[in-house]
Structure 1
Amino acid sequence: MSLISKEDFTSLSLFNSDVCVSVFIPTQRAGKDVLEGKNQRHLKSQWKEVKTKLEKTGHSKDKIEKIGVHFQKLIDDNNFWRHQSDGLAVFAAENAFEYYTLPVNFEAYHYIGKEFYLKPLVPMFSGKGKFFILEIQPKKVSFYEATNYSITQIDIEDLAPEKLQDRVGYDFEEKHLNHKGSINTQHGYAPATRERKDEFLRFFRAVDQGIDKIIHHETVPLVVSCEDYLFPIYQEANTYDHLYDKCVPGNPNDNQHILELHAKAVEQLQPHFDKQKEEKMKEFNEQPPEMTSTKITDIIPSIYEGKVDTLFLENREDIFGTFNEEKMSVEVQDGQTGDNISLMNLAAKKVIEQGGSVFLIESAFMPEKESKMNALLRFNY
């Protein structure tokens, strides 16, 4: 399940029209705010502001209404609003409307231009974000390949036992439910006695041998989702060098939504992902001056020449102006106009297109704080 794919991102980045509207809002997953329609009101408020701006800049009533119909239809879709994550990104034009529910706490923001504004999305496609999730319990084993913003189930039916019973050769649940007084009443299983530990160990070793056929040559984290008391047993059975040292706690079950499992795994791995960003920042600070750049008039031409490995953009800031690709010239201007673009948005989209990394950094932590855009150049350009 891809929350937003690289293909989606590319399609949005190439889209152009007279009016392109990009809206980002934070959303609540559940609770009183959801029941009372706070998320819907938030989007409605953003569209109201966009509509006012479009009217003031002289866009036709017909064009505004065509875009507004898309927003109103989404606002009125009560079923949609009952299944939210942490943020919503909406991209609308006269003949286009796309929206993505994402595990990202966006700040409320809208952008009107001749292109979509994708800067808030670029960290989703940066760094080595791939990892695996092994969801394991006595009656179910599931395996997933994931990134920060996508998750796909991998079929391991022919490689590993689907449940404990397949490995230990008898009805495990019935046997252990008969041990009165020693049952974990929350999950229906007794604590891990020596006999039970040995049985789980046999089961986990069989699972480990099965998924090893898929991940043997991988170097990315494997996150295990299981009950806390089972994780030390799985660690003993594991042979994969990159097993993450903390599990996603809880009792996975058929009712747990795949997006919830994904969100918990990403949260658990956050220190790992932060380390990648910190390593790139350290690399920027340690490189000689010719391997870095802090002038936007130099950085954007370098990006188009394929020279930029990593881009650091100051969060909550923007730079507007024009870029002439034929002349490789950049003109920085004060504020947004109808004739210029966000140069940060342009730079970020191009770096992602080329397979580089883009990080949004708070101003106090930018590698070079005097510049809103820093670039780490490639060694082999």
Structure 2
Amino acid sequence: MEYKDIPTKADVEGFAAMRQAGCVSIYLPTGTTPPEADRARIELKNHLASAVRALEKLSVPRDRIQAVQAEGELILEDRDFWRYQSRSLAVFLDGDLAQTFRLPNRLTTACEIADRFYIKPLLRALTFPQSAMILALAGNSVRLLHITPDRPPERIDVPGMPRNVADAVGLDSVSGRSPDGRIQGSEGHKVRMLEYVQAIERVLHPVLVNSTEPLILAAAEPLAGIFRGAGEHPRLVAETISGNPEDKTDEELAAAARGVLDRLYASKVADLREAYEARIAAGTALVDLSDIARAATFGAVESLVIDIDRRVPGAVDDETGVIEFGDDDEPGEYGVVDEILRRALGSKAKVYALRAEDVPGGGAAAAAVRYPV
């Protein structure tokens, strides 16, 4: 059994490529308190029983059903696992693979059984991860914090991190004249602050180089400007938590950072809608689901926006992309939007999972295309 918190794009693409009879995908809301975890555990037990019955109805081999059931029961019995939960839990079982994700987004409950995994809800965590790093930078201190939606902020120990400006430049104090007498006053202080920032960047690089999370700076001027101008920070958010971070607790910085993330994501959604509306008007974006399915089948989708909550029962032809809509979901079937998503991921399209009111065109999906099909 493999437990993970936030899925990577590679995780989602890997699930999208899997095709095998008896794939079980379970989503359920959880919580961080023991009563919430107990309710979620009971709900998972009920979903697992329902999945076993559906697998039997689909005539999946008995040994595979038993393997799915055994893996599910291992999760149910893992008390340490249930002690640490987030807002939602995703469980994937097929008799060979067993994997969970503790997700920061509030998702609706679902139990899907088909010849492929139901992956659409995972995309919400990739679109809006709700986690970030905070660099709280002051002349006399520096902290690196990691925040997630439901847990207290965590301080990250960074080896070699200077304690303050003086520590970074090897002086007892940065006030007044340096030993050689050449740097003094406000200009000299700014030079030392730049050296301080450069020392911080050197030790931060190994920590942040593989991070996919936004970096939020909490600092007052001139340190904020010096840090932003000292190097390239691909994931550094434009908005700064202003003021001296020494006046704020870790919890206060985390609360301020979550507000920064909310505004960042709202801005991204607005920009995405504007870009799509322009492409729809120009004829290079599609809003009709049948057109989108065909484009996804032939690898023409450049980017895809999907309604995270809407289900469209039916199937998509493997060769032509023609949709056969269904009246209702039945065991063994999969959603049309999820299959479009799967094919778009297979051609390396960017995918955004949004709420209904944010999807351009107001439908279940919208797609920008590389070429007409």
Q: Same fold (TM over 0.5)?
A: yes
Q: Find the counterpart in structure 2 of residue 33 from structure 1.
A: 35
1:376 alignment partner, SS class: strand
Q: CA deviation at 1:299?
A: 0.9
Q: CA deviation at 1:71?
A: 1.3
The percentage of counterpart residues that share the same residue type is: 18
Q: Find the counterpart in structure 2 of residue 247 from structure 1.
A: 241
1:162 alignment partner, SS class: coil
Q: Distance in 2 between matches of 1:264 and 1:345?
A: 35
Contact (CA 8 Å) 1:321, 1:333: kept in 2 or not? yes
Change (3 A) 1:79 1:117: same
Contact (CA 8 Å) 1:125, 1:352: kept in 2 or not? no
Question: Superposition pairs for residues 1-381 of structure 1, below 5 Å?
Answer: 3-29=6-32, 31-33=33-35, 37-59=38-60, 62-126=63-127, 133-136=134-137, 141-142=143-144, 157=160, 161-164=161-164, 166-167=167-168, 169=170, 205-210=194-199, 222-224=215-217, 231=220, 234-235=223-224, 237-240=226-229, 244-247=238-241, 250-252=248-250, 265=257, 268-287=260-279, 288=281, 290-337=283-330, 340-369=333-362, 371-378=363-370
Residue by residue, what CA displacement relative to the aligned partner does 1:236-269 show, whole Å, maximum 9, x if unpaired?
54334965434397545xxx9xxxx999856632
**Range moving further from structure 2, 38-47 or 113-122:** 38-47
Aligned-residue Cα RMSD (Å) equals 4.3
1:275 alignment partner, SS class: helix
Residue by residue, what CA displacement relative to the aligned partner does 1:167-200 show, whole Å, maximum 9, x if unpaired?
365679xxxxxxxxxxxxxxxxxxxxxxxx9999
Residue by residue, what CA displacement relative to the aligned partner does 1:179-231 show, whole Å, maximum 9, x if unpaired?
xxxxxxxxxxxxxxxxxx9999777533433466769xxxx964125xxxx54
5+ residue gaps, structure 1: 147-152, 173-196
Change (3 A) 1:142 1:57: same
Q: CA deviation at 1:101?
A: 1.5
Contact (CA 8 Å) 1:126, 1:352: kept in 2 or not? no
How many positions carry a matched residue from both structures? 330
1:321 alignment partner, SS class: strand
Q: CA deviation at 1:90?
A: 0.6
Q: Distance in 2 between matches of 1:316 and 1:21?
A: 19
Q: CA deviation at 1:8?
A: 1.8
Q: Distance in 2 between matches of 1:126 and 1:356?
A: 13
One-letter amino acid matched to 1:274: A
Change (3 A) 1:367 1:47: same
Q: Distance in 1 between matches of 2:134 and 2:371?
A: 34
One-letter amino acid matched to 2:269: K
Contact (CA 8 Å) 2:313, 2:327: kept in 1 or not? yes
5+ residue gaps, structure 2: 149-155, 174-185
Q: CA deviation at 1:58?
A: 5.0
Q: Find the counterpart in structure 2 of residue 194 from structure 1.
A: none
One-letter amino acid matched to 1:247: I
Contact (CA 8 Å) 1:25, 1:43: kept in 2 or not? yes
Change (3 A) 1:298 1:380: closer
Change (3 A) 1:23 1:128: closer
Q: Distance in 2 between matches of 1:346 and 1:262?
A: 37
So what's the TM-score if we normalise by structure 1?
0.70
Change (3 A) 1:341 1:273: same
Change (3 A) 1:7 1:310: closer
